[in-house]
Amino acid sequence: MTMKHFIWFGMLVMLAGLWACSRQEAPKPLDAVTVQLKWVHQAQFAGLYVAQEKGYFAEEGLKVGFLEGGQGIDSVQALTSGQADFAVITPEDILVLRSQGAAIVAIAAIYRRSAVVYLSIPGTGIVQPTDFSGKTAAVTGRDGAVRDLEFQFHALMKKIGVPLDAVRCLPYDPGYTAFIQGDVDITAAYLTAGVVKLRQKGYLPNIIWPGDYGIHFYSDTLATTETMIARHPDRVVRFLRAGLKGWREAVGDPESAVSVTLKYARLPDSRLQTAMMDAQLPLIHTGSGPIGWMEPEIWQGMYQVMMEQGLIAAPVDVQGAYSMAFLKSIYEGGGK
């Protein structure tokens, strides 16, 4: 072999090596997952938007799509039908649906304090739950939406000894029209949304919080199915790791989180989304345990209250309703 041939041969070997390396280093396709949100796009889901916009999901090898919730959309059905891989739903839904055979599991509690409250107009004399007797209350869910408002109302009435049939229960109206006009005495609301909107319209309602009467519930939980956990446990931990990273960043820098939220929000009102963000911070970052952490005694307490109030059709293995495995894996690894 001449020197010229030797050089050409060497170059071919080098190019072949580079080509092989480039093929080996080609990025793997992202795993596509879908998240069903509990309501329309708003600051309530800011941590997930941050994880998406900052590339945290992509860094975990995930391509994430969001499905809006809202009136008439059953978030749990989207999860159980396979339309969504993950969902933001309530612990009440998880317990009730598991009692009916649905294999859904909470993997983190984002709202570690419930955002559910009940409102009355000042001057009506309705300042505590015992005042609800003989009144009208907009609290019932429709088409699978906002069931937590109804469940906690039932639990609250039972807890304080007011018969449910002593209150005329009407469908919940997220616009609060009848409540504002005085045609409804009490309305359910979320501290992080409805209360904010009413205050911005100049209304300062009385706020009755179930927690003051022994009804201690988580609120927004991230959930998936037993099938997803069994088939793709690594995908679950990657999704949760990125989502929690987004939530930690949102809590640490709420102003930036609102800016990200405005790219998604159904109502892109900076003042409104900022007020929502401020209202939810103490529900998410409680000062006790890391973001998303769940306590067995809280789950047991929720289950006990719902069983006592007859809201669960059949006994449930509470430990099967939630999994700490993914949270422990993430936080024992430094939360990265």
**Dist. CA 282–CA 225, nearest whole Å:** 28
Q: Yes or no: say if 196 and 270 are a contact pair by the CB < 8 Å rule.
A: no
Is the pLDDT higher at 287 or at 272? 272
Share of the chain above pLDDT 70, in %: 90
Tell me the average pLDDT of the chain: 90
3-state secondary structure of 250: helix
Q: Is the pLDDT of residue 6 over 60?
A: no
Q: Yes or no: say if 216 and 299 are a contact pair by the CB < 8 Å rule.
A: no
Mean pLDDT of 283-294: 94
In which band, very low, low, confident or very high, does the pLDDT at 142 lie, cut at 50, 70 and 90?
A: low
Q: Token pair for residue 40?
A: 């329309």
Q: Is the pLDDT of residue 303 over 70?
A: yes
Q: Which of 128-137, 169-178, 326-335 has the lowest mean pLDDT?
A: 326-335
Residues sharing a CB contact under 8 Å with residue 196, sequence separation 6 or more, in sequence order: 272, 275, 276, 279
The sign of the torsion formed by the CA atoms of 37, 94, 206, 281 equals: negative
- Chain-centroid distance of CA 324 in Å reads 16
- Helices 91-99, 147-160: axis angle to 10 degrees equals 90
What's this model's pTM, rounded to 2 decimal places? 0.85
pLDDT at residue 144 in the model: 60
Q: Is the pLDDT of residue 12 over 70?
A: no
State the Cα angle at 77 between 72 and 79, rounded to 5°: 125
Tell me which residue of 274, 267, 238 sits closest to 253, measured CA to CA.
274
pLDDT at residue 15 in the model: 46
Sheet of 116-120: strand order equals: 168-171, 136-140, 186-190, 116-120, 206-208
**Dist. CA 190–CA 179, nearest whole Å:** 15
Mean pLDDT of 138-161: 85
Q: Yes or no: say if 291 and 244 are a contact pair by the CB < 8 Å rule.
A: yes
In which band, very low, low, confident or very high, does the pLDDT at 322 lie, cut at 50, 70 and 90?
A: very high
One DSSP character per residue, 142-168 reads: -TTSSHHHHHHHHHHHHHHT--GGGSE
37-95 pLDDT, tens per residue? 999 999 999 999 999 999 999 999 999 999 999 888 899 999 999 999 999 999 999 99
Residues sharing a CB contact under 8 Å with residue 138, sequence separation 6 or more, in sequence order: 170, 171, 172, 173, 176, 178, 179, 184, 186, 187, 188
237-271 pLDDT, tens per residue? 999 999 999 999 999 999 999 999 999 999 999 99
pLDDT at residue 295 in the model: 96
pLDDT at residue 70 in the model: 87
Residues sharing a CB contact under 8 Å with residue 79, sequence separation 6 or more, in sequence order: 36, 85, 86, 87, 89, 104, 223, 224, 225
Beta bridge partners of 247: none
pLDDT at residue 336 in the model: 55
Instruction: Please report, as a single letter, which amino acid is at residue 42.
Output: Q
Domains and CATH numbers, the chain: 31-113+218-332 (3.40.190.10), 116-213 (3.40.190.10)
In which band, very low, low, confident or very high, does the pLDDT at 288 lie, cut at 50, 70 and 90?
A: confident
